[in-house]
């Protein structure tokens, strides 16, 4: 049986902040979900099923929170699924929701991802000390900083490349009222002078810790044709995983990311992502991951990604803007961060990205998420035109 077409017909998100002390967890997810449902011209009762994702439950200390949130999200009497694939979860949650439509099982699916990190502390939640596990000696950034050093060594990238990304994404965030970090005075000097946490990573090279939620309503072709606002058609989705640790693992340019990108490009008819896409929302929690993922995702040859960043190709007015919303470097409710990438890509395609809307030519954009030790990948390509 042929795959059914699927489109994003509604998008909603919270204002992302260090601490959303004004809402409960239910209030947080409902803020995003209600906006998405209204954008889709629907009411709660129109929704067939709910797919929810978030990162480890220990962030908020609520186990399997889909149970507590079921009626908050209008799932009473309906199917509800909870996805958890580490940092890629926001992306994979959206893909599970898309498959519910593409399979023909449902017509209208609400998908939501969230994190309320202010309930605890993300560093604690990500690295609860466990018996028999190797002692952590460097924290979360300490896992990725050595990989970044190896990238810099291999590629010969100048040391300021990461800082360029740190500035660019924060400047983009100034166009996005929902973004957590608004740093109007950000400069290269400011990043260079910020505290050197994990050499080569400085404080402003790293993402914040946020409370926030993202939601989308995905619909079938008939639902999309009746949508009151422009829709973003799903042109391809893909997920790939590889083990955390294995012999001769390429940690800089993981095979799972390469395979995932190739798969989603094949589905979407993308032969050159730099020219065939109008923009990309890519999971960049540490600034240096922009040049690394430019290579992993085929926007540049291996070793050349930093040159795109340096030339301004990924800037807001560049030929292939990356993270016009400000990206993970400006808002990071971990479980939602992937879905924010997917949803922001959809908003660009719909022409509804507001102050951070980029110029659309092909009408296609990419959303990307990754997690674990760069081992879980989720990607989609959305477009303004209905896919063939």
Partner 1 sequence: MTEPLLARHSLEYPGGYTRSVGPIVGRFLTGLRDGRLEGVRLADGRVLVPPTEYDPVTAAPTSVDDFVAVGPAGTVLSWSWVDAPRPEKHRLDRPFAFALIRPDGADTAMLHMVDVPSAAGMSTGMRVIPRWRVERVGGVADIEAWVPYADGDPIPEVPAIPGFDAMDHDDVTGIVSTGRLDFEISAGAATSRFLLGLAEGKIIGGRAPGSEDVYAASRGTDPTTGEPTSVEVEVRDSGIVTTFCIVNIPGLSDLAPEIPYASAQVLLDGANNTFFGLIRGCEVDEVRMGMRVRAKWRDDLAADHRSIEWWEPTGEPDAAYDEYKDYL
Partner 2 sequence: MRDVAVVSFAYSTSPKELAHNEVEMIVPVVREAIAASGIAREEIGFTCSGSLDYLQGGPFSFVMGLDAVGAWPPIRESHVEMDGAWALYEAWVAIQTGEVDSALVYGFGKPSQGDVHEIMTLQYDPYYVAPLWPSMVDMAALQARAYLDASGRTERDLAEVAARALRDGASTPQAIRADANATADALLAEPMVADPLRASDIFPTTDGAAAIVLAADDLARRVSKRPVWIRGIDHRIEPHALGSRDLTRSESTAIAARAAGVGNGPIDVAEVHAQFSHEVLILAEALGVDPAVVNPSGGPLAANGVMSAGLVRIGEVARRIAAGDANRGVAHVTSGPALQQNLVCVLEGE
- Contacts with partner 1 by CB under 8 A lie at 19-27, 30, 34, 44-45, 58, 60-61, 71-74, 76-77, 118-121, 124, 128, 130-139, 141-143, 145-150, 153-154, 195-201, 243-252
User: How far from 163 is each of 130, 144, 160, 194, 282, CA to CA, in Å?
Assistant: 35, 16, 5, 10, 17
Q: Is the dihedral of CA 33, 34, 40, 45 positive or negative?
A: positive
CB of 136 to partner 2, least distance (A): 12
Binding mask 74-93 for partner 2 (x = CB under 8 A): -xxxxxxxxxxxx-----x-
- Whether residue 377 contacts residue 249, with contact meaning beta carbons closer than 8 Å, is answered with no
Cβ contacts of residue 251 below 8 Å, gap of 6+? 147, 150, 373, 374
CB of 183 to partner 2, least distance (A): 30
- Whether residue 19 contacts residue 25, with contact meaning beta carbons closer than 8 Å, is answered with no
Considering the complex, state which of residue 322 and residue 380 has its C-beta at the smaller distance from partner 2.
Answer: 380
Considering the complex, state which of residue 27 and residue 230 has its C-beta at the smaller distance from partner 1.
Answer: 27
> Site size for partner 2, by CB under 8 A?
60
382 lies in the binding site for partner 2 (CB under 8 A): no
Considering the complex, state which of residue 99 and residue 178 has its C-beta at the smaller distance from partner 2.
Answer: 99
CB of 53 to partner 2, least distance (A): 9
58 lies in the binding site for partner 2 (CB under 8 A): yes
Q: What single string gives the DSSP state of each residue in 258-286?
A: HHHHHHHHHHHT-S-HHHH-SEEE---SB
| Alpha-carbon Rg for the chain in angstroms | 19
CB of 292 to partner 1, least distance (A): 12
The tokens describing 6, both together, are 């699927």
The tokens describing 17, both together, are 């902040």
Beta bridge partners of 280: 322, 366
The tokens describing 193, both together, are 């002078």
10, 12, 90, 125: residue in contact with partner 2 (rule CB under 8 A): 125
Residues 195-254 binding partner 2 (CB under 8 A) are 238-244, 246, 254
Considering the complex, state which of residue 37 and residue 270 has its C-beta at the smaller distance from partner 1.
Answer: 37
Alpha carbons 70 and 66: distance in angstroms, whole number:
6
Q: Which residues bind partner 2 (CB under 8 A)?
A: 1-3, 24-25, 56-58, 60-71, 75-86, 92, 96, 99-100, 102-105, 125-126, 128, 130, 238-244, 246, 254-256, 259-260, 372, 375-376
């Amino acid at each position: 049986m042929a795959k059914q077409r699927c489109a994003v017909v509604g998008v909603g998100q919270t204002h992302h902040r260090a601490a959303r002390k004004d809402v409960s967890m239910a209030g947080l997810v409902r803020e995003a979900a209600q906006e998405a449902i209204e954008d889709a011209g629907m009411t709660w009762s129109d929704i067939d099923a709910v797919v929810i994702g978030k990162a480890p439950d220990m962030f908020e200390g609520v186990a399997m929170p889909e149970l507590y949130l079921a009626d908050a999200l209008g799932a009473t009497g309906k199917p509800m699924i909870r996805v958890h694939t580490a940092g890629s979860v926001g992306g994979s949650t959206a893909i599970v929701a898309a498959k519910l439509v593409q399979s023909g099982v449902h017509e209208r699916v609400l998908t939501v991802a969230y994190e309320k990190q202010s309930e605890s502390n993300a560093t604690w939640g990500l690295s609860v000390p466990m018996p028999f596990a190797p002692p952590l000696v460097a924290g979360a950034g300490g896992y990725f900083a050595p990989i970044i050093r190896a990238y810099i060594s291999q590629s010969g990238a100048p040391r300021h490349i990461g800082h360029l990304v740190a500035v660019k994404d924060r400047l983009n965030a100034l166009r996005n009222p929902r973004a957590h970090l608004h740093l109007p005075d950000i400069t290269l000097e400011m990043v260079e002078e910020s505290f050197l946490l994990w050499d080569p990573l400085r404080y402003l090279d790293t993402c914040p810790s946020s409370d926030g939620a993202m939601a989308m309503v995905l619909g079938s072709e008939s639902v999309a044709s009746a949508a009151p606002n422009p829709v973003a058609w799903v042109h391809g989705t893909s997920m790939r995983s590889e083990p955390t640790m294995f012999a001769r693992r390429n940690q800089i340019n993981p095979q799972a990311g390469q395979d995932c990108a190739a798969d989603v490009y094949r589905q979407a008819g993308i032969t050159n992502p730099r020219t065939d896409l109008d923009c990309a929302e890519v999971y960049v929690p540490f600034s240096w991951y922009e040049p690394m993922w430019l290579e992993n995702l085929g926007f540049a040859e291996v070793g050349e990604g930093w040159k795109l960043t340096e030339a301004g190709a990924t800037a807001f007015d560049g030929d292939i803007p990356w993270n016009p919303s400000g990206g993970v470097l400006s808002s990071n409710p971990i479980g939602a961060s992937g879905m924010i990438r997917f949803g922001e890509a959809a908003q660009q395609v719909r022409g509804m990205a507001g102050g951070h809307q980029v110029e659309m030519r092909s009408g296609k954009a990419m959303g990307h998420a990754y997690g674990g030790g760069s081992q879980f990948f989720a990607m989609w390509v959305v477009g303004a035109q209905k896919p063939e």
